Chain A
Amino acid sequence: MKILVCISSVPDTTSKINFTADKSAFDKTGIQWVINPLDEFALTKAIKLQESQGATVTVLNVGEAITEPVIRKALAIGANDAVRINTEPKDSYSVAKEIANVAQTGGYDMILCGKESIDYNGGSAPGMVAQLLGQPFVNACVGLEVNGAEATAVREIEGGKETISVKLPAVIAGQKGMVDEKDLIIPNMRGIMSARSKPLQVLEASSSEVKVEGVSYDSVPQRAAVKMVSADNLDELVRLLHEEAKVI
């Protein structure tokens, strides 16, 4: 079985998000880059299938050379090889097109993604890839087993869960729960060393067409100063919530 895991390189979760002075772009100064945390669940699931079913795992990133440390980390976690499409990702559509191209030529049985990137929060690329490939799509996946030409996926629904069987090849977008948090793989020295010699193929982008542009960006406005209420005076808190904030 061949699995393609799509990873995006995103600002570390502790990053303060700033924009350039003219507000036209995200300011990357001083940012540490990590594998999108939701993609890490998908990657770990793929490595588990590699161990249990002898699957081969290719990681794919659409991004410029600065994303290579993140790709190497995915290799250190256990992916067999990697592909980088050398372009600055501009919107979900252009990323999805590149992923679909790689998927099509590689003949993968399953494409695993995180359900959204924690930077631009598009949540769109996985579904777009599925449609570009004409494959079924399972989103918000919190459990996955593979049995031959079929997978059984558990997806989160509002107020519950649904278990579905899906014919492979398919695109599956995962999140926390796809594997347990404690099972996420932290690369060890051996992994890190072997990642250096694993193949990382760099391909040029096939097109530059975008469908959505980020025109400008704003930071979140500051909240007014907090009103502290004494623990001995909860009547005052109730009054404030009722009369001032009008929320209860």
Chain B
Amino acid sequence: MAIFVYAENINGIYKKAAFEAVSYAKAIADQAGDTVTAITVNPTDSSDLLYKYGATNVIKIKDDGLKNFSAKAYAQAVNEVANGNTLVFPHTTDASSIAPMLAIMKDFSLITNVLEAPESLSPFQVKRRAFSGKGFMHAKADAAGVIVTVSQNAYGVKENAVSGSEEVKELSVANEDTKVVSHEQSSGKLDLKEAEIVVSAGRGMKGPENWGMIEDLAELLGAATACSKPVSDIGWRPHSEHVGQTGKAISPNLYIAVGISGAIQHLAGVNSSKTIVVVNSDAEAPFFKSADYGVVGDAFKIIPELTQKIKALKG
């Protein structure tokens, strides 16, 4: 029985989260002595990109009715082609909207936010994120089949090339309940949940006009930008950049926190970052207790200087 994985694409281009999900599915397949079948909707990217991470089969769903996203219609489409008992999704907004609907359709267990390869396959048991990053849960699936969503940037992308083949499935799923009115995609901006480096700033920046130095550092590092909750509440930065317990949970390789105090709600969303650097003028800021590297000082002096020094390193 094949392991199925949902390879999410945006406008036909695979997301990094798709490669992560395929890598994860491959780990399950290797444990089970099985193969991976990837499902993707209206892709333009080549299937070679999915073979590279271990997908032996790629099913390309072609359906004009799925040009626009609808959780219900996508769940229906995936349900039509996925006939294994193990299904892997990335924990992106779209995929984590489809997965619960599919779990009901198939009467499977759904385990979201998984972090590591399964601890056992039968019964299926896996470690997942819980309590907004303040704890972990080892979850066991009771149903005959299981769907998991893989937390972004947790398991990672692992190359594992296989030779694969693709199959095109023409579907025409009814998609009448929802209609996309408009779609705004800010071009060229790195996705916060996928970013390997995140430069984040808090109320210590004093005002939105001072974010230039944060953006400069982020651009130099190929990083995404983020912020603390009050910063987005006041409207200095968009809601989509708010990280923490009530915002986004992220796990980049490097998290640079500038002028953020390190309140427990903020830490909840960022403490699974692999390396944390804290810059704060207050030596008593709680964030230093949860950091790997700390600098006490004025961000307005430190950040431009740090940017210069990293520029020099990068040559």
Q: A234 touching B306 by the CB < 8 A rule?
A: yes
| Count of B interface residues, CB-CB < 8 Å | 101
State how many angstroms separate the Cβ of B116 from the closest Cβ of chain A. 12
Residues of B within 8 A of A229 (CB): 293-295
Is B305 located at the chain interface by the 8 A CB criterion?
A: yes
Closest to A38 in B: B246
Q: A131 touching B101 by the CB < 8 A rule?
A: yes
Is B242 located at the chain interface by the 8 A CB criterion?
A: yes
Is A125 located at the chain interface by the 8 A CB criterion?
A: yes
Q: A228 touching B296 by the CB < 8 A rule?
A: yes
Residues of B within 8 A of A66 (CB): none
Q: B181 touching A226 by the CB < 8 A rule?
A: no
Q: A120 touching B309 by the CB < 8 A rule?
A: no
Q: A138 touching B296 by the CB < 8 A rule?
A: no
Residues of A within 8 A of B297 (CB): 231
Q: A121 touching B129 by the CB < 8 A rule?
A: yes
State how many angstroms separate the Cβ of A140 from the closest Cβ of chain B. 5
Residues of A within 8 A of B305 (CB): 234
Q: A139 touching B71 by the CB < 8 A rule?
A: yes
Residues of A within 8 A of B277 (CB): 237, 241
| CB within 8 Å of B: which A115-143 residues | 118-128, 130-132, 135-140, 142
Residues of A within 8 A of B189 (CB): 159
- From B96, B105, B233, B253, A247 is in contact (CB under 8 Å) with B253
| Count of A interface residues, CB-CB < 8 Å | 81
Is B103 located at the chain interface by the 8 A CB criterion?
A: yes
A238 to B305, alpha carbons, bound, how many Å?
11
In this complex, the member of B96, B108, B271, B301 whose beta carbon has the largest number of chain A beta carbons within 10 angstroms is: B96
Closest to B111 in A: A212
Q: A158 touching B100 by the CB < 8 A rule?
A: no
State how many angstroms separate the Cβ of B120 from the closest Cβ of chain A. 10
- From A92, A218, A230, B136 is in contact (CB under 8 Å) with A218
Q: A248 touching B221 by the CB < 8 A rule?
A: yes
Residues of A within 8 A of B271 (CB): 220
Residues of A within 8 A of B194 (CB): 158
The digit string for A213-241, where 1 denotes a CB below 8 A from any CB of B, is: 11111111001101111110011011011
Closest to A219 in B: B135
Closest to A160 in B: B185
Q: A164 touching B143 by the CB < 8 A rule?
A: no
A164 to B130, alpha carbons, bound, how many Å?
31
Is B140 located at the chain interface by the 8 A CB criterion?
A: yes
Is B290 located at the chain interface by the 8 A CB criterion?
A: yes
Interface of B is mostly: mixed
In this complex, the member of A125, A182, A223, A234 whose beta carbon has the largest number of chain B beta carbons within 10 angstroms is: A234
| CB within 8 Å of B: which A58-83 residues | none
Q: A162 touching B137 by the CB < 8 A rule?
A: no
Q: B180 touching A137 by the CB < 8 A rule?
A: no
A62 to B189, alpha carbons, bound, how many Å?
40
Is B197 located at the chain interface by the 8 A CB criterion?
A: yes
A248 to B291, alpha carbons, bound, how many Å?
17
- From B10, B253, B294, B310, A158 is in contact (CB under 8 Å) with B10
Q: B93 touching A237 by the CB < 8 A rule?
A: no
- From A211, A218, A231, B296 is in contact (CB under 8 Å) with A231
Residues of B within 8 A of A140 (CB): 93, 97
Known contacts A14-B265, A226-B288: A158-B104 contact under CB 8 Å: no
Is A33 located at the chain interface by the 8 A CB criterion?
A: no
A176 to B242, alpha carbons, bound, how many Å?
10
Q: A158 touching B186 by the CB < 8 A rule?
A: no
Residues of A within 8 A of B109 (CB): 93, 211-212
Q: A177 touching B111 by the CB < 8 A rule?
A: no
Closest to A211 in B: B109
| CB within 8 Å of A: which B90-107 residues | 92-94, 96-105
Is B112 located at the chain interface by the 8 A CB criterion?
A: yes
Known contacts A13-B245, A136-B72, A237-B277: A165-B93 contact under CB 8 Å: no
Further pairs besides A119-B132, A136-B177: 14, Cβ < 8 Å? A17-B134, A118-B245, A121-B130, A123-B100, A123-B112, A130-B72, A156-B239, A161-B184, A166-B177, A176-B239, A215-B140, A217-B135, A220-B271, A223-B291
Please name 14 pairs of A and B residues whose Cβ atoms are closer than 8 Å in the assembled complex, sorted by A.
Answer: A14-B264, A120-B130, A124-B100, A135-B177, A139-B71, A140-B93, A140-B97, A156-B93, A160-B185, A163-B181, A211-B103, A215-B139, A215-B140, A238-B313
In order of increasing CB-CB distance, the 7 nearest A-B pairs are A127-B100, A231-B297, A136-B177, A131-B104, A160-B185, A139-B97, A17-B134
Interface residues of A (CB under 8 A from B): 11, 13-14, 16-17, 19, 26, 37-38, 92-93, 96, 118-128, 130-132, 135-140, 142, 152, 155-167, 170, 176-177, 181-182, 210-220, 223-224, 226-231, 234-235, 237-238, 240-242, 245, 247-248
